Amino acid sequence: MSEQSEEESQQLQQKEEEQQDSQIIQQEDKTEQQLQQIPYVHMLNNKYNVREAVHAGSWYSSKSNELKIQINCWLEQAKAEVTTVAQLKALVVPHAGYAYSGPTAAFSYKYLKKYPPSEKLKVFILGPCHYVYITQCCLTRQEIYETPLGNIKVDLETVKQLHEQGLFEQSDKDAEEEEHSIEMQLPFLAHILGTDNFTIIPIMVGSIDAKSEEYYGRLLSEYFDMDDTLFIISTDFCHWGTKFAYTYFNSADGEIFESIEKLDQKAMEHIELHDLDKFNDYLKEYENNICGKHCIAILLHCIAMSQNTHMMETKFIRYAQSCLVRDKKDSSVSYAAAITFLED
């Protein structure tokens, strides 16, 4: 592929991602489309039991060797400077196309490589919904999540336990495959851990209210405290530009991209302090359209309810933007990487 065609391909990919990201910003103005609630059934031995890697080949490479080389390169370039990690409990990771967010995501996953688990992991992946409007969290009905690096098993026992609590919907397969926020985490996990060494509990997080955030946080906190679990919070930060209906700009902060960074930094500071009240106040004041804000809130509830909350720390370790905006006609999406861990 020529240099020109690669650039055109990246531009088309960015345009597609920005159009898809903009949908979540406008969801609350749409007519609610509730997913059908049905009894828990895992679809063994039929066409519904595999969630295909539908974004492979566009948002990231579908060629396993190429994908491994790419991920390895990003992991080698990433730094792991926090040295007080006794146990990883959560990662905050972006979910755009790898050409844009892969280098940032690698900073979180670097710690998973540096501090590998001593036993088989149950990985809870919380991702926002960009394509369907739901007011609950959804569990998968699939048994396998496909990746170019091998298939990943869903932890059916844990999914069943959660479903029996009565707070979760079950996701529609088409909507689940169209959604990218969970899928974009899988190649990193498969490459670092190996597909036989972990199972996943994918959770699509809808547009839930504060009370629901607390309910889900309380329910998941029991699992959060287990030694064999890791939580992945899949989120991008500010989506800036007219296409996202968000153009906050404080000229005192410098150029537009500098204003965006300072805006995002305020959110990251509240998250690092595990201060959910201030995070919510910040969202009300600035209306920053962080697509995974409900996922973040659930994490903060888990931390607050943890038996180890006094030993828990969260650190943001990388920040980037898809474009350094200087003109109001431009747009960008912000990416941030963080780790939550028990201190050594």
pLDDT digits (tens, 9 = 90+) for 55-101: 999 999 999 999 999 999 999 999 999 999 999 999 999 999 999 99
When pLDDT is averaged across residues 266-295 and rounded to a whole number, the result is 99
Distances (CA, A) of 235 to 67, 83, 99, 238: 22, 25, 16, 10
**Alpha carbon distance 265, 8 (integer Å):** 32
- pLDDT of 140 > 60? The answer is yes
Q: Domain limits of the chain?
A: 3-343
pLDDT in tens, 108-119: 999 999 999 988
pLDDT at 10: 57
Assess contact for 232 and 124: CB atoms under 8 A. yes
Percent of residues, the chain, with pLDDT higher than 90: 82
- pLDDT of 255 > 70? The answer is yes
When pLDDT is averaged across residues 289-306 and rounded to a whole number, the result is 99
When pLDDT is averaged across residues 293-315 and rounded to a whole number, the result is 98
When pLDDT is averaged across residues 34-49 and rounded to a whole number, the result is 43
When pLDDT is averaged across residues 232-243 and rounded to a whole number, the result is 99
pLDDT at 126: 99
pLDDT at 8: 58
Percent of residues, the chain, with pLDDT higher than 70: 86
pLDDT at 45: 41
Q: Where are the beta strands (DSSP E) in 66-195?
A: 85-93, 121-128, 137-139, 144-145, 152-153, 168-170
pLDDT at 9: 55
**Alpha carbon distance 240, 22 (integer Å):** 10
Assess contact for 127 and 26: CB atoms under 8 A. no
pLDDT at 337: 99
pLDDT at 262: 99
Assess contact for 315 and 338: CB atoms under 8 A. yes
Give the right CATH number for 3-343 from 3.40.830.10, 3.30.420.40, 3.20.10.10, 3.40.50.1100.
3.40.830.10
pLDDT in tens, 183-193: 999 999 999 99
- pLDDT of 30 > 50? The answer is no
pLDDT at 15: 60
Least confident residue range of 5-14, 146-155, 222-231, 318-327? 5-14
* Mean pLDDT rounded to a whole number for the chain: 90
- pLDDT of 27 > 60? The answer is no
pLDDT at 39: 39
- pLDDT of 44 > 50? The answer is no
Token code pair at residue 172: 């529609």
- Indicate the SS3 state at residue 246: strand
- Indicate the SS3 state at residue 316: strand
